[in-house]
Amino acid sequence: MKFYRKQPLEAEKFDGSQKLVFGYSVIPSGLIDAITEKPAYYSMLVDDVCQDSDDDTGVVLEAGDWVVKEADEIEVIADDVFEKTYAELPVIPYYVNDYINHMKLSYRDIWDAMHYPFRSDKMDKYMEDNSETFARAWLDGYQVEEDK
């Protein structure tokens, strides 16, 4: 048996306040939760057709669910399932992003990148303190830290 990993995906946690998710309209249901006094569930307007729970391809969600966009498909995943299944991509500084890009454009592999003798002191310090984050970023992808 072979095992495969999933590629990075786009996901957004729905909190009940969004009017749009990935550009699709979110429509609250008429059913109100007695405790929160908010809609019990929501539907998404996909391809100008309101999908409902009776439709096999329907997109129905609740506050706290994750909306996942893969290719041109929208999937809704409950929060507890999403948290067990997916991990957020690591966040790395700009200079680490530059280093990864330089190494990959130079046709270097991860071993070369981790043992490269001409790294800056700043990069050496990062590698010493964050080698697992660096490896995860190299292999799975990453987000670049925002300027502060």
Tell me 44's DSSP state. Answer: E
Answer for the pair 68, 74: CB distance below 8 angstroms, yes or no.
Answer: yes
Residue 52 has pLDDT above 70, yes or no: no
Q: How far, CA to CA in Å, does 23 sit from each of 39, 46, 66, 67, 148?
A: 21, 9, 15, 12, 28
User: Do strands 73-77 and 91-92 pair parallel, antiparallel, or not at all (unpaired)?
Assistant: unpaired
> What is the average pLDDT across 34-43?
75
101/18: higher pLDDT: 101
> What is the average pLDDT across 119-126?
94
Tokens describing residue 118:
């001409």
84-110: pLDDT as tens digits: 888 888 999 999 999 999 999 999 999
How large a percentage of the chain has pLDDT more than 90?
A: 41
Q: How confident is the model at residue 53 (pLDDT cuts 50, 70, 90)?
A: very low
87/125: higher pLDDT: 125
pTM exceeding the 0.85 threshold for the entire prediction:
no
Rg (CA), the chain: 21
Tokens describing residue 86:
């997916």
Mean pLDDT of the chain: 84
Residue 110: per-residue pLDDT: 96
